[in-house]
Structures are given as structure tokens and as C-alpha cells.
Amino acid sequence: MRINLFILSIIMFFSLGACKQIPEKGAVKVAPKKPNIVLLLADDMGYGELGAYGQKEIKTPFLDSLASQGLRFTDFYAGTSVCSPSRAVLMTGVHTGHVSIRGNKGDFGNKWERVPLRKTEITIPEMLKDAGYQSAMIGKWHLDVPEDVSTWAKGRGFDYAVQEQWGEDANGNEIDERVHWVNNNEDSILYDYTKYKCLDEFRTNFALDYLQNKKESNKPFFLYMSYRIPHAHEYFISHNDLYREKGWPEEERNHAARITMFDSQVRRLFNLLKAQGELENTLIIFTSDNGPQKENHDPLFFKSSGGLKGHKRDLYEGGVREPMIAYWKGKISSGKPTNHQGAFYDIMPTIADAAGIKAPSQTDGISFLPTLLNQEQKKHDHLYWEIQEGKGEKGFKQATRMGKWKSIRIADSNKTELYDLDNDVFETKDVSAENPEIVSKMNEILKKESVVIEHYPFSGGIFK
């Protein structure tokens, strides 16, 4: 009898164990939570304007700390070297040889005006919407026309948008650039620059409010913070005493002060995410839209390009190589930087990869999520840029990087320059004459990657 009871108990034990392995009919599997994505974009910040990238004078303690805790890219590039087309690349994952915006303005026959993104070009928030994300954009959009609100951020996939606008509205009235439009025309708030330390304090307040009062707290979020620092503008001037003891020229003191204050605004945003317990499930990406400006700042004063040749509007390294930091607590290991060669058009597929969805077929990019997670990474055969500034040939420039080689072609010169970045990262010696076969390969890339598009008369390239 005891033996029979013992055998029965064994049978019951294994039977119960087996039952636990079989899910109940109709049971719902709980999918892993999708990560939040925070994309932080500076405006006209040079490769050398953060301490983590060699800056000695301007203090950026928080971003330097973020770089040491995350992954710092040494060879990451903007979409191109001026605001609007670079941001178009960022939002669509399409490089400047294919995207609909190739310069800050385009040719409309008798006038040179802004060009909006085409409605057929899918944006990051539009991509994420079907994956269950809620999206917010705060700051500078620059991919629209003022008279058509459907081209503004709120009309291109963002659930919540606070953006500046300038130019003329549909009635021909001049728009005050200090006005920030909340969800297009639902509300408008004037930026009073006498009340804040900097414009981006004003904007960060909106971001903090959004994160604390999201309508759908159960959904993952995509937050695009498009800051305006250190871009030059009269009402961005700092009303504080930062760096006054240095005795620098006033425009340089203001430039440095804006960057340090920008650093503190990113810290505020990070601290709220930390307090909300979101860091373990949030991928943070920080970069800048193009190289340093020289409108009311000398980019050589602080070595804003980090010693690289060129600045904003150039396709030399100083115009397109950018600081790039990725942080994801517990996912990205801190330590050595990466020299993976990437560009703005890789950000959309990377975000899609992190969200567990496919990027739109339009993208020219490659996800660098494997690099973030220390896994095997696919690489580009080459990177590509172009820019159209003004109606003349001189304003059309193309560039490509293939491994260590970098070529630049300014349309009116009818010449392709070639640089060996492994041995000459500062692009001091044009080695095209010594490497005709490489130049020929680069020219084939320049011809292939630029497609003809309306409003940009030299798109498609110029080879005489």
C-alpha cells in the first residue's frame, strides 16, 4: 500500500509539472515593453564643442558624463551641412541625393523659397505610430512652409508639437519667430527672452510638462527635442554672467554660455526620466544638425570643429562630422568610443530596430543598434552628402566617404578633391592626382547617388 501511494504521488508530481508547461487555451502572451526613444538635436554645434570631444574652454559636464556612461561615436555625420536638408535626412532616413529637400530653400522660378517634405516621405513618428508609440516634437522643425500647417510637425505624425515658425502665413502676414505654436494653431505662446536663461530653458519646460502629463501613460513615447543652441540669433543672447571673467569678445562669451546652459537643460530632462524610472527602458541619442556657424561667432576661437577643416555649409569634415552620443542604461556598455561610420539616415532604421519593427523601404540607412549592443555590425559601402545653396553652380556641392577615402566636388570647379582620412583627417592635402582610380570610383558614386528633383537645378550632379 505504501508503495502504491509513493508511485501515485510521483505520478501526480510530474502531472502537475506538465500542466504548468501547457498554456491555457486563449491565454495572452505578454510582449516585452517597447523602449522609449529620446532624440536630442543641437543646432549648429561643432564636432569640437563638447569636453568629450576635446573642448578645453566651454564646460559641458553633463553631456561629457553621458558620453562616458554611454557610447561616443568618432565618425558620425549629419545629413548635410545646413539645417533644413540635414533634418530632412534625419526624419526620413533618406540621404540628400534622394530626399526632397536639398537646401534651406529651393528654386521656384522667380523666387527662392522654403521647400516642405513630401507627404509620401514617411517620417519617424509616422513610422512609430503603427507600432503603438505616442510622439512629441518640441523646438525647431524647419521641414515645412509657414502658410500650410499640414506640413508642420503636428501634421507629419507627431501627437504633440510645440514649434517656432517664421516667414509669412497664408494671409501674407509676417510671423513673429518668437511665437511658439502648440499643436499648430490650437494655441500660441510668445517666447519672452527676458524671463529665461536661454531659449532652450523655455523649450525644456514644455518637454518636462509633456513627460509628466502624457495622455497615454501606458504607451511608449518618442520625444524629439530640437534645440536652438548654439545657433546665432539676437534674442538667444545669454542674460547671465557665465564666462565674463574670461575677458572673451562678447559674441564668443555668449556662444560659450549658450552651450553650457544647453548642457544644463539636457541634464534637467535626463533627471526627470531618472526620477520617473524610465532610464532602463529609454534609448537616448544626442547629436547636432551640422557644423559650427560663423554668422556671429568665429569657429576658430574655440576650435569649434575640433581642428577639422570647414564649418556650416561646407562638406569638408568640419561641416558634417558631428558629436554623437548614445545612452541606454543597462543596454549600452560604457567604455571605449566607436569609430563606426554612420550618418543621420541611419537613425530611422536604428529606432525601428530598437522598436522591433521594420524601417520603411525608402531608407538609405543601416541600423547601428548592433554597435550600441556590442554585436556584429553591418557597414556602409559609402556615405553620401549634397547641398544646394543659392541658384548658381557654386552653391551645389557633393561629397562621399568610402572607407578611409573622402571626396568633395564643388560643381563650378569641375574637379573632384580626394583626401585620405586615415592619414589626413584635417583634409590638408588633396591626393586626387596620385589616385586616379579612386577618384573614378568616387565620381561614379557622386553620379549615381544624386537624383534629379524639382526646385534644385543642379541635382543629379554636374560633370563637364
Q: Tens of pLDDT along 133-153?
A: 999 999 999 999 999 999 999
The SS3 call for residue 245 is: helix
pLDDT in the model for residue 436: 98
Q: How confident is the model at residue 31 (pLDDT cuts 50, 70, 90)?
A: low
CA distance 231 to 44: 5
Q: What is the pTM of this model?
A: 0.92
CA distance 318 to 290: 9
Q: Which part of the chain has CATH 3.30.1120.10?
A: 384-449
CATH class in words for 36-377: alpha beta
CA distance 369 to 375: 8
What confidence tens digit (pLDDT) does each residue in 378-430 have? 999 999 999 998 877 788 999 999 999 999 998 878 899 999 999 999 999 99
pLDDT in the model for residue 438: 98
What confidence tens digit (pLDDT) does each residue in 35-50 have? 999 999 999 999 999 9
The answer to whether 102 and 456 have CB atoms below 8 angstroms apart is yes
**Model confidence at 288: pLDDT above 90:** yes
Q: How confident is the model at residue 217 (pLDDT cuts 50, 70, 90)?
A: confident
Q: Which part of the chain has CATH 3.40.720.10?
A: 36-377
**Model confidence at 460: pLDDT above 70:** yes
CATH class in words for 384-449: alpha beta
Q: Which residue has the cell 534629379?
A: 452
What confidence tens digit (pLDDT) does each residue in 92-135 have? 999 999 999 999 999 998 899 999 999 999 999 999 998 999 99
pLDDT in the model for residue 15: 43
The letter for the amino acid at 304 is S
Q: Which residues of 296-312 are buried (b: 16+ CB within 10 A; e: fewer)?
A: ebebeebbbbbebbbbb
Read off the C-alpha cell for 209.
510638462
Size of the chain in residues: 464
